Amino acid sequence: MLTFGLVSPREAIGATLAGKNALLFLLSLLALSLLVGKSGFFDWAALRCARIAKGNARSLYRNAFVLGAIVTAILSLDTTAVILTPVMLALVRRLKLPAAPYIVLCALVANVGSLLIPISNLTNILFADAFHLTFAAFAARMVAPQIVALATTYALLRRQFRRQIAEHFDGESLPEPASVVPNRAYFLVCVTVLVVVLIGYFLAPLVRIEPYVIAFAGTGVLAIAGAASGRVRIRAVSELSWGVFPFVVGLFVAVQGLENLGIIGLSSGWLAHMRPGSPEKFLAAAGATAFASNIMNNLPAALIARSVLLASHADTGTVLAALIGADVGPIVTPFGSLATMLVLALARREGEEVRSGRLVILGLWAAPAIVVATTLALGLALSLAR
């Protein structure tokens, strides 16, 4: 875009600065998740899931799904992909259970479970920032769609893997969850900070501070507590996924180029002609972003959708419907979202492979069902709230 003059250097800098809140939030979330991982929280949670299941493999699968949904909601889908996936794989290998159902579970719940609050997905942060949606307003509108999305996904996963999920497992050899917590004091600080930070996200607009300030404050507390307990060293900075930032900045600039070409204007005109708040407009917005996400990845698809929605002065319902497509929709192709790519790459590194063709076949019938059900739930929730 820069080389061919479709975007000027001034415009590139402006596009990046316009997304600074999203970039700072992403950095704070990555740091917070990394420090929580140092406490042994994810290993502890996975063992708790297995203990609660009491030898019932189907209960374990349900517990793993619930854990993935919770981690995705409060620590983002990338945390589920990067930290929870290896933990779950290690657990099922120890229990001698088939890994494929859990790999697909992690990939799907990372995407589908990321609707609830802005921090759950980078696309949410981008939309909430652009359309001035507070945490409370966002969550109030998305709680019903999130429940429907998770319930539909779990039902489809159970149907897909009904023959591969064993009935029982031998949990006698599992250690006590407390045994994987290297420092109890730091663990308790992590849990407390997570609760306080989550509450702080909702209170931030009342005191007129950006939510990323809350996340950075939590990160600072954990860094100090981690250093004092010997769990965190300065080299932990190198463990952050720094490569994602030039990737996102590049997307900001690329979308600015598309705006300059007039593509955004054509799309916004099509959307503006549809009846505001109508089910067909919601489904069109969700379907378009879901399709685009599976073709080009959900981050560029969400950025293009954001520009189209801003240009067409879309209502809040249409904005959230488009976000549903970007969050829930990219489960057909392995490159539909970064989280899916990370889950599959980590599984492959651990010697477990889920063929892309199998994932595509599952996604082709699962994605439309989940997107339509979730979008209709959004429409119903908004109509009842009026």
User: In which domain, by residue range, is 82 found?
Assistant: 9-385
Q: Are 120 and 72 in contact (CB under 8 A)?
A: yes
Q: Tell me which residue has tokens 């799904």.
A: 65
283 closest CA partner among 363, 378, 380, 372:
372
Q: What is the model's pLDDT at position 374?
A: 97
Q: What is the model's pLDDT at position 316?
A: 93
Question: Is residue 1 assigned to a domain?
Answer: no
Using 70 as the pLDDT threshold, list the residues of the chain that sit under it: 266-270, 272
Q: What is the model's pLDDT at position 143?
A: 96
DSSP string, 44-97: HHHHHHHHHHTTBHHHHHHHHHHHHHHHHHHH-HHHIIIIIHHHHHHHHHHTT-
The first and second tokens of residue 100, run together, are: 């494929």
Q: What is the model's pLDDT at position 48?
A: 92
Q: Could you read off the pLDDT of 303-320 as tens digits, one per residue?
A: 889 988 988 888 999 999
The first and second tokens of residue 150, run together, are: 């998770």
How far apart CA 128 and CA 120 sit, in angstroms, is: 12
Question: Is residue 197 assigned to a domain?
Answer: yes
Question: Is residue 256 assigned to a domain?
Answer: yes
367 closest CA partner among 311, 286, 279, 266:
286
110 Cα distance to chain centroid:
5
Q: What's the chain's length in residues?
A: 386
How far apart CA 303 and CA 25 sit, in angstroms, is: 16
Torsion on CA atoms 155, 381, 301, 77, rounded to nearest 10: -50
How far apart CA 331 and CA 368 sit, in angstroms, is: 10
133 closest CA partner among 336, 359, 317:
317
Our count of domains for the chain comes to 1
The maximal CA–CA distance of the chain, rounded, in angstroms, is: 65
Question: Is residue 131 assigned to a domain?
Answer: yes
Question: Is residue 207 assigned to a domain?
Answer: yes
Question: Is residue 107 assigned to a domain?
Answer: yes
Question: Is residue 157 assigned to a domain?
Answer: yes
How many CB atoms sit inside 10 A of residue 273's CB? 9
Question: Is residue 4 assigned to a domain?
Answer: no
Q: Which amino acid is at 142?
A: M
Q: Could you read off the pLDDT of 51-97 as tens digits, one per residue?
A: 999 889 999 999 999 999 999 999 888 888 888 999 999 898 888 89
DSSP string, 329-375: S--SSTTSSHHHHHHHHHHHHTT----HHHHHHHHHHHHHHHHHHHH
Q: What is the model's pLDDT at position 247?
A: 84
Q: What is the model's pLDDT at position 272?
A: 67
Q: Are 85 and 79 in contact (CB under 8 A)?
A: no
